[in-house]
Structure 1
Amino acid sequence: MFKKLFDRSIDLKKRMFAVLAAAGIASNSLGFAVNIAVYGVNWITAACGICALIIGAAGVYGLKTGKVRVPLGIILGLIIIFEFPMLFLAYGASTFPYMLLGLFTIIAFCDEKRRGALFAAAMVYDGAVIGARFAFCDVITRYDSSEYFGTGLSAFLISAAAMFYCLSIIIRQYEDKNRELKKLADELGEINKLDAQTGIYNRSYLTEYLNGLVRGEKKFCAALIDLDNFKLINEKYGLPFGDMVITEFAGIINNASGTSGIAARYGGQKFMIVCIGDVMKTEDMLDNVRKEYAAFSVSEKQEEFTFSAGIEEYSHGMEISRIFRNAEEKLARAKVKGKNRVVSK
């Protein structure tokens, strides 16, 4: 039962309606039983019994059919216009929590356009009832003060429980939504770090990652890679296969980088591997990449594809732009020297 109150697959208003209906049935049933036991049958006893039946019927109908708008209107109208003011006139301040519960239901259930006007009208109405209670105290029925404690305690407990569960439902809904939004924001943030075609990191995140390494003063190398003769591959085998080569190579360097750094697409057929460690470790990593890339190309086209790379080792105080520039210069020297090689000095 209580789990369903926090089940988000059920409409928020329906869950709060269940709380309101339960509170209405409980308060009226209790009022009816107490009045019968203490005072016998009188107009308040009869009113409590009738209200309990009406609220019970409306609550059951709303919960069974899922159509809560009309039953909700009946319950709100009954408790705000008739029942809670009646109890206050009869018992005085001991039933004041019920009137506050009535105002709370307006805030919780009415839409934004009507909420303010209805709340103001209810405040004026309740104010008039309170004024009448004190202005005509000699005429209006008053029960012995010995009965106030039980009446006031039950009013307080029922109203407090109803407001607790309604507010708990609203707060849980709000917190769940916040968690979902945060998760979505994290997912979108992660997506924004990735290259759309290959699924590895993009250049924007590459720069962010390098800045983090520089701030942490970690020793690392940046290897800028360019696929050799990629234009000829596109011309010979077609653009779809060229895209396949880009995606496959991205997967190879992403696996190779592992936990030692990251792989990112630098642009076009250029990639960068950031390796936490020295030049030798980076060269070993690139050697493994070369073997896997060649194995892929031979299996696909019986031809060995190659790449060229320039490695720049970070030194203290070096700017990111200089790392990129130096790696590009070394890559250019690798191309001039005949491609299919790595230049690190």
Structure 2
Amino acid sequence: MLTARNIANRSLQISLSSLVLAFCLLLVMPLSQAEIRLDDYTPAQNLNDLADYLADPGGTLTLKDIRQVDADFRHRKDLSFGYTRGPVWLRLQLRSHTLQARTWRVELDYPSLDEVRLYDVGSDGIRTSRAGDTVPYSERSIGHRTPVFDIPLQPGEQRTLYLRVESAGSMTLSGSLMSLSDFEQHSQRGYLVHATYCGLLIALGLYNLLLFLALRERPFLNYVLFMCAFALGVLSLNGLGAQYLWPQAAPWSNRMLPVSLTLAALFSAIFARSFLDTRQWLPRWDRVLVVLCFATALAVLATLLLPVQRALQTMSLTGLTVTLMLLLTSFVCVGYRVPGARLFALAWMMLLTGAVLLALRNFAIIPSNFLTLYSMQIGSSLEMILLSFALAARFNELKQQREAALQNNERVLEQRVAERTQALEEANQRLSEQAMRDPLTGLANRTALQQHLTQALSRNQRRQELLAVMLIDLDGFKPINDLYGHGFGDLVLAQVAQRLNLQMRESDLAARLGGDEFVMVCESVQSAEAVQQLAERLLDRLNQPMTLEGHTVHVAASIGIALSQEEDDTTTLIRRADAAMYQAKAAGRNRTQLG
């Protein structure tokens, strides 16, 4: 029988175990935020520090359901969820400690949220209101470019706010809770910044439009078209378009951002072709840009037809692709001394930086803050100013070139000399390439093999990937040479080289060491088994009979394989492959051997 002392000890053990278990659960479970105390001196508060969240992937939860699962709300330091399915609920628990009634305001500072519903729960019932860029401006709770809500509180009053946020775009829920006076100052500063930015775009657009009308230079018109499309996208992004330009066109407001920014990407590619004059300076790159323009035009059509979330993702990917391509083109043009290319490259670097930060924030890879939220505006402002300078510099430079060409015929001669020099350099380059080839088989020779293997080994060691070297020695080639002569043997070697070319991958290199020895270098191989399978296929191909000049002959091969190791250099790698090849010959020939 259990004594009273045993029962007490057992109870104590159970209690201690329960406390330990509860403590562990508290450590691993995210805690919800406590009640927020507001007094007369409370400054603006960041929602990242205040709000709890609850995801609703199915979009089926009602306020009644949410209030029943209050314990499921969690807290995180960053309320940027990226592209996510279904609504997200935010909860704030407020208690007023002011001496008199005051009105507070909650703002979500990302204007492109589709719909935000506020359920303000207190002892007097539930107050509801809504905002968002799919809500007509006249129906929003507060007339503002961002979702804003009034929260009136009496002294000592306690209220719980539930924000249901739904958006096809990036679910960026950063924002602030502040007093009415603080909000008015914050809002004025924001409108001032955006007004300055829009004024800059308008001034630059009108200036370059006048230059186009005066000079009839096509790049100025393309630049104006790019600025107009980009300005529409920025107005949609910062909420000013829905407030001033299309206040009642709520569905179009949601679609305007991806359409306008993708259209801006199209006009930017067209502008780059005309500005850099790639048709004259870089014909091959110009053909690539033409294809890019057609692809971007299809992306514009896609943003009109796809669901909004897919359209926004298409916009981000298209914008980054076009910007990177134009940046790369500008760098090449700098090398060719294309007029205005340096400023163009610098301008596009500014825009690329802003676009990358915005895209990373949209995909919730980096947190949402002032820099990431307004990165596109900051980067585009610098880009627009630099492009205007670039247009002026390009025009002046071209003008000076024309005048100098008319005044001095020597420049024509210098140009011809330069063209001749370039032709000679290309000829020298072709001769150098021929010097790197085996004249009989057309494969790489020893010198080319050494250079390629050194570079390939460095690349694979940097990427921590495997590199394989296969040394191939023909079996039974000498009797063929003796029987049919060296001329026929050369035909056999050329046929072997052709079969090697057919079996190797695009990233592989086949080379001839000399005589009947060949080498194949295979980069980024997955495993030793994969290399052996490739060698076996190659061996099967070489074993097939050859019919040349009416004679049918069979050629076999012994293949030695060496896989790269961290301490390997080119000489060691080839030596190990050679040793493995001799092992294959010793084991009976016509086989592969991994060294």
Secondary structure of 1:285's partner? helix
- Aligned match for 2:443, one of 176, 193, 200: 200
| Mapped contact 1:295–1:304 kept (Cα < 8 A) | yes
Q: Which residue of 2 aligns with 1:274?
A: 521
Q: Does residue 585 of structure 2 align to residue 338 of structure 1?
A: no
Look up the SS of the partner of 1:194 in the other structure: coil
The 1:163–1:271 alpha-carbon spacing in structure 2 relative to 1, beyond 3 Å, is same
Q: Which has the higher contact order (CA 8 A, sep 6+)?
A: 1
In structure 1, the residue corresponding to 2:546 is in which secondary structure? helix
The alpha carbon displacement at 1:285 in A equals 2.5
User: SS of the residue aligned with 2:522?
Assistant: strand
CA pair 172-161 structure 1, distance change in 2 beyond 3 A? closer
SS in 2 for 1:274: strand
1:236 pairs with 2:477:
no
Deviation per residue, 1:39-74 (Å, 9 max, x gap): xxxxxxxxxxxxxxxxxxxxxxxxxxxxxxxxxxxx
Partners of 1:164 and 1:248 in 2: how far apart?
A: 60
1:177 counterpart = 2:420: yes
Quick one: distance in 2 between partners of 1:247 and 1:163? 56
Shift of 1:336: 0.9
- Match runs of 1:90-129 below 5 Å: none
Change (3 A) 1:316 1:162: closer
Q: Using structure 1 for the length normalisation, give the TM-score.
A: 0.50
1:219 aligns with 2:466: yes
Name the counterpart of 1:248: 495
Query: Please, which runs of 5 or more residues in structure 1 have no aligned partner?
Result: 1-159
What's the CA shift for 1:268? 0.8
For residue 454 of structure 2, what is the amino acid of its counterpart? N
Counterpart CA distance in 2 for 1:340 and 1:185 is 42
Q: 561, 585, 589: which one pairs with 1:311?
A: 561
Aligned equivalents of 1:174, 1:185: Cα separation in 2: 16
Task: Supply the distance in 2 between the matched residues of 1:301 and 1:339 (Cα, whole angstroms).
Answer: 24
> With structure 2 as the length reference, what TM-score do the two structures score?
0.30
**Percent same amino acid among aligned pairs?**
26
User: AA paired with 2:511?
Assistant: A
Equivalent position of 1:108 in the other structure: none
Instruction: Sort the Cα spacing of 1:275 and 1:161 in 2 relative to 1 into closer, same or farther, 3 A.
Output: closer
Higher helix share: 1
Distance 2:575 2:431 in 1: 31
Aligned-pair Cα RMSD in Å? 2.1
Residues 250-279 of structure 1, C-alpha deviations (whole Å, 9 max, x = no match) = 111123223131000012100000111133
Query: Per the alignment, in what secondary structure is the counterpart of residue 263 of structure 1?
Result: strand
Equivalence for 2:127: none
The CA distance in 2 between the partners of 1:206 and 1:162, in whole Å, is: 47
Deviation of residue 170 (structure 1)? Answer: 1.1
Provide the rounded CA distance (Å) in 2 between the counterparts of 1:291 and 1:215.
31
Going from structure 1 to structure 2, the CA distance change for 1:162 and 1:257 (only over 3 Å counts) comes to closer
* Partner in structure 2 of residue 86 of structure 1: none
For residues 121-160 of structure 1, the C-alpha deviation after alignment (integer angstroms, 9 at most, x for no partner) is xxxxxxxxxxxxxxxxxxxxxxxxxxxxxxxxxxxxxxx7
Tell me if the contact between 1:257 and 1:274 (Cα under 8 Å) persists in the aligned partners: no
Give the greater-gyration-radius structure (CA). Answer: 1
Distance of 2:583 and 2:530 partners within structure 1: 21
Query: Kindly tell me: are residues 308 and 173 of structure 1, through their superposed partners in 2, closer, same or farther at Cα, counting changes over 3 Å?
Result: same
Aligned length: 186
Any gaps of 5 or more consecutive residues in structure 2? Answer: 1-402
Is 1:188 aligned to 2:431, yes or no?
A: yes
Q: Distance in 2 between matches of 1:282 and 1:190?
A: 29
- CA separation of 1:168/1:325 partners in 2, compared to 1, >3 Å: closer, same or farther? same
Give, in whole Å, the separation in 1 of the partners of 2:588 and 2:404: 81
Q: Contact 2:539–2:591 at 8 Å: present in 1 too?
A: no
Distance 1:183 1:205 in 2: 19
